[in-house]
Structure formats: structure tokens, C-alpha cells
Amino acid sequence: MKINFSINNSAKSIEINPSETLYEVLNKCGFSSVKKACGTSSCGICTVLLDGKPIPSCSYLAAKVDQHNITTIEGVQQEAELLGDLMNREGAVQCGFCTPGFLLTIIAMKKELVNPDIQQIKNYLVGNLCRCTGYEGQLRAIRRYMEVGR
């Protein structure tokens, strides 16, 4: 089947298999920044933004993104640079495998939540697992990021 959607504001019209997940399709399109780690939408690694909202692409049928807008980290490079720098200041990018999906979720959170407290931040990001950092370094960076532009 054919789907029409946009990736990072660039229109795409592609032939897909109805059973393919969005992760598989993005991978075929060469977006290697989108990674898969669990296949059960439990870890947040494969996160992309669907019309600005984070979704797990490993468990999302590609057919459903027809007429929608998908954002990967390649589509928000300026914001990723700002946030990535804050993360790196804390040493909080370790293996980095979860980083693109995690940064996308944080970027979406900043747009969605107004002045969130620490618990609201944690609740928003709870689906993004990290096995390296122990989360605290990330939180130190996120607190700084949420202050930017306020």
C-alpha cells in the first residue's frame, strides 16, 4: 500500500507493506537515528514525534502515519544541539543509544508542559529507559534545559 506523509517537513510518498511498523519504514528510508531496543513499546528508544507528540515507532503501524507529520532527531537539529550540549555538560550521554529518542521526548515535553515540577518531568519521561546513567545526570541537564528561554 502507498502512504503519504512527511518526515521532518519533507513530503514522502512511499510503498509499504501493511504489516510494517513505522520503525521499519523509517529504517528503510535511512533514518538510522531511530533505534529499536525492545519491540514492546517499553523503553522509549525508538521514539519519534507524530505531529509533535512522542510515539514508540517500534509498535506503531506505518500505515497509520498516512497524512501525518513525523519528526526524527534529524528534523530538530538546532534544539538537539542545545539540549545535547546540556546533557554532555553533565556527562549524561553515555552509550548514547537511547539519546535521540530521549531528546525528542524532552523537546516534546518542553512544548507540552508549562512549568512542570520534577515529578511531572519524571512522569512524562518515565517511558524512556536508560541503563547507563542512573537518570540523575539526565535530570540535572533537563532542569537546565527547561529554564532555557523562560
The span from the CA of 47 to the CA of 58, in Å, is 8
Residue 4 binds to other proteins (criterion: CB under 8 A): no
Q: Which of 14, 61, 113, 132 binds other proteins (CB under 8 A)?
A: 132
User: For residue 10, which amino acid is it?
Assistant: S
Between 114 and 126, CB nearer to other proteins: 126
Residue 26 binds to other proteins (criterion: CB under 8 A): no
Residue 130 binds to other proteins (criterion: CB under 8 A): yes
Residues 62-91 binding other proteins (CB under 8 A) are 72-74, 77, 80-81, 83-85, 87-91
Residue 6 binds to other proteins (criterion: CB under 8 A): no
Between 1 and 4, CB nearer to other proteins: 1
The span from the CA of 122 to the CA of 30, in Å, is 31
Stretch that binds other proteins, among 7-15, 40-48, 59-67, 109-117 (CB under 8 A): 40-48
The span from the CA of 143 to the CA of 34, in Å, is 25
Which stretches within the chain are classed as H helix? 22-28, 77-89, 99-112, 118-125, 136-147
CB atoms within 10 A of CB 144: 15
